[in-house]
Structure 1
Amino acid sequence: MGLKYQHILVAIDGSKEADWAFKKGIEVAKRNNSSLLLVHVIDTRSFALIEAYDTVVGERAEKLAKDMLENYQKQAEDAGLSNVQYEIDFGSPKVRIPRDLAMKHNVDLIICGATGMNLVERFFIGSVSEHITRYAPCDVLIVRTSKDIE
Structure 2
Amino acid sequence: MAKRYKHVLVGLDGSEASEKAFKRAVEMVLEHEAETLTLAHVVDTRSFSAYDWYTAMAEKAQEYGDELLTDFAHKAENAGVPHVNKVMELGSPKVTLAKSIAPDVKADLIVCGATGMNAVDRVFMGSVSEHTTRYARCDVLIVRNDQ
- The residue that corresponds to 2:142 in the other structure is 142
What is the one-letter code of the residue matched to 2:3? L
Q: Is the 8 A contact 2:48 2:54 kept in 1?
A: no
Q: TM-score, normalised by structure 1?
A: 0.92
CA RMSD, aligned part only? Answer: 1.4
Distance 2:107 2:58 in 1: 27
Structure 1 residue 146: Cα displacement: 5.8
Overall identity of the aligned pairs, in %: 45
Structure 1 residue 53: Cα displacement: 2.4
- The residue that corresponds to 2:15 in the other structure is 15
Q: Is the 8 A contact 1:20 1:146 kept in 2?
A: no
Distance 2:127 2:82 in 1: 32
How many residue pairs align between the two structures? Answer: 145
Report runs of 4+ in structure 1 exceeding 2 Å deviation: 50-54
- The residue that corresponds to 1:76 in the other structure is 76
Distance 2:144 2:28 in 1: 16
Q: TM-score, normalised by structure 2?
A: 0.94
Q: Is the 8 A contact 1:12 1:22 kept in 2?
A: yes
- 1:1-150 equivalences in 2 (<5 Å): 3-34=3-34, 35-48=36-49, 52-145=52-145, 147=147
Distance 2:28 2:129 in 1: 19
Q: Secondary structure at the match of 2:58?
A: helix
Structure 1 residue 7: Cα displacement: 0.2
**Gaps (5+ residues) in structure 2?**
none
Structure 1 residue 51: Cα displacement: 7.3
